[in-house]
Amino acid sequence: MLHYDEPSWQIAHRIRFDFNNLMADTIGEAHGFTEAELGRQTEVAQAALAAVQAKRDTGWLRWMGLPYQPVDDLLATAADVRARFKNFVVLGIGGSALGAIALQDALLHPYHNQLPDDARGGPRLYVLDNIDPDWLLALLDVLNPTETCFDVITKSGSTAETMSQFLWTRQLLVDRLGEQRYAEHVIATTDAAKGSLRPLVDQENYHSCVVPDGVGGRFSVLSAVGLLPAAVAGIDIRGLLAGAAYADRISATPDLWQNTALMYALTQYLAYRRGQPLSVMMPYAQGLRTVADWYAQLWAESLGKAEDHQGQVVNVGPTPIKALGATDQHSQAQLYIAGPRDKIFTFVTVDKFANELPIPTWRTGQSAVDYLGGHTINELLAAEAEGTALALAAAGRPNATFKVSEVNAFTLGQLFYLLEIATAISGELYNIDAFNQPGVEAGKVRAYALLGRPGYEAQAAEIEALRGKRKARYEI
Ligand code: PA5
């Protein structure tokens, strides 16, 4: 039995959700929830959970089965890449990139790419999730394409950013290796049958991985989209899936007071309804900074919707805000504590970091400095997190904390899945489809029209008409 399958180990690494500072007992009746209020909403929350469970593994909820997928093929692909390449570059954007970035930041050495080869123990990992030309070209100053594997990740195969990056990197490879050999450096991660990339896989004979049916980009971190880059870099992907499966189990209970995802989703929803549409996520761990980025996309793209299930215009959706403790205490905290009462806060804290860093003692005679000696940086960070939560609570600002035992594959997989299921439950609470993204498509379509893609002539005409209304004096 692997350690993460042992019940006592799992319990020790269960992510706790401390919502004391959301409750009236702590922050007062005017600002907090009472148990009676949560009790009155229990049935609504349970109905939302039941609706999610009823759709489990169907339609766009097939990501719920990802914790149980076999990964032998993925691990074999990763082993092959590790043996053949010095660098692994992900080409992708949005849900096709944010998971890999979060995994890289949370579970690899913070300076993974700069480590000497023997200390790194695997390829360098780069995730190109933007199309700034200077940034893209700069990659060639630090890696040689002939020592590199490019994983082009796009479910649709039609995302202009990703496909233009792919055209660029393909040409680099063809120029250096020739038409015959370049394909050995390409992995295509895309839909099994649909989209514009799949035919190229067959035509060019690329190695390919599948974005499974019913798994949208922002719910794909635990598919080949996130798992292959993770496995190539040496991350324990079985541990990730074990953590996700554990979260799946916890999230199945209809008992609101035992179900982390359900309590999180309900309290966030109630906060929105009572006038707190801004939802701040603030990890107190450098490695979890981009988990907040991943979460912001998940929350925003899933819950920001124009229409409800019945087609009524509702224009709902909480606005996720990413922050980082302790850094943003010196940037955002003033606004959070004293500004408008339009926010709910979620901290993510870590009980045990891989290292403990003592603060040396030096008696300077300065009381603002001398008290630090003898403590650890770990204690200071924990005190900063608790201090901020308490300051917010004292100001009647609702806040809760996900408490993570340590950042490892199991806890990260658990966190991903808890937040995914909380998002699906929230979709039901808002009575919207959490799995479409017409707003994103609207932007994509206009970009296609601007670049003259056939089939988008009507949008091009609309853009021209809008451009005709522009006034020079409005641009100064
Ligand atoms: O979550 C989503 O669906 C989006 O963010 C997509 O991941 C993003 O638009 C990229 O799409 P694709 O994977 O089709 O290139």
Q: Which residue minimizes the CA distance to atom 3 of ligand 1?
A: 217
Mean pLDDT of 23-45: 97
* End residue of a domain, out of 239, 266, 295: 239
Would you tell me the crossing angle of helices 260-273 and 237-250 to the nearest 10 degrees? 70
Report pLDDT digits (tens) over 103-120.
Answer: 999 999 999 999 999 999
What pTM did the predictor assign? Answer: 0.96
Report percent pLDDT > 90 for the chain: 92
Give 17's pLDDT tier (boundaries 50, 70, 90).
very high
- Indicate which residue's Cα is closest to atom 2 of ligand 1: 217
- Whether 444 is catalytic is yes
Is the same domain home to 98 and 230?
yes
pLDDT average, residue stretch 191-220: 96
Rounded to whole angstroms, how far apart are CA atoms 239 and 70?
Answer: 13
Looking at the 3D structure of the chain, how many domains does it have? 3
Instruction: Please determine, for residue 5, whether its predicted confidence score (pLDDT) is greater than 90.
Output: no
Question: 1 pLDDT exceeds 70?
Answer: no
Is 198's C-beta closer than 6 angstroms to any atom of ligand 1? no
Residue 330 catalytic? Answer: yes
Ligand 1 pocket, residue 159 CB under 6 Å: yes
Contact of 147 with 109, CB cutoff 8 Å? no
244 inside domain: no
- Going from the Cα of 96 to the center of ligand 1, the distance in angstroms, rounded, reads 6
Pocket lining: 220 vs ligand 1, CB cutoff 6 Å: no
The residues, any chain, with a CB within 8 Å of residue 99's CB and separated by 6 or more, are 220, 221, 222, 225, 226, 294, 416
pLDDT band at 140 (very low <50, low <70, confident <90, very high): very high
**pLDDT confidence of residue 28:** 95
Q: Is 155 an annotated catalytic residue?
A: no
CA 18 to ligand 1 center in whole angstroms: 33
Query: What's the confidence (pLDDT) of residue 440?
Result: 81
Tell whether 76 and 106 lie within a shared domain.
Answer: yes
Which among 179, 330, 469, 475 is annotated as catalytic? 330
Whether residues 282 and 204 fall in one domain: no
pLDDT greater than 70 at residue 165: yes
The active-site residue out of 55, 86, 403, 444 is: 444
422 and 448, same domain (yes or no): no
Is any ligand 1 atom within 6 A of the Cβ of residue 239?
A: no
User: Taking 60 as the threshold, does the pLDDT of residue 408 lie above it?
Assistant: yes
The pLDDT mean for the chain works out to 96
Do 276 and 411 sit in the same domain of this protein?
Answer: yes
Q: For residues 264 and 156, state if they share a domain.
A: no
The band of 289, judged by pLDDT with boundaries at 50, 70 and 90, is very high
pLDDT at 2 over 80: no
Give the domain extent around 371: 7-58+254-430
Residue 461's Cβ-count burial label (10 Å; 0-12, 13-18, 19+) is: exposed
Q: Which residues contact 422 (CB under 8 A, 6 or more apart)?
A: 261, 262, 264, 265, 268
User: Which CATH number does the domain housing residue 271 bear?
Assistant: 3.40.50.10490
- Residue 385 Cβ contacting ligand 1 at under 6 Å: no
First-to-last alpha carbon distance for the chain, in angstroms, is 67
Same domain, 412 and 347: yes
Residue 439: band (very low, low, confident or very high) from pLDDT cuts 50, 70, 90: confident
Q: What is the mean pLDDT of residues 261-289?
A: 98
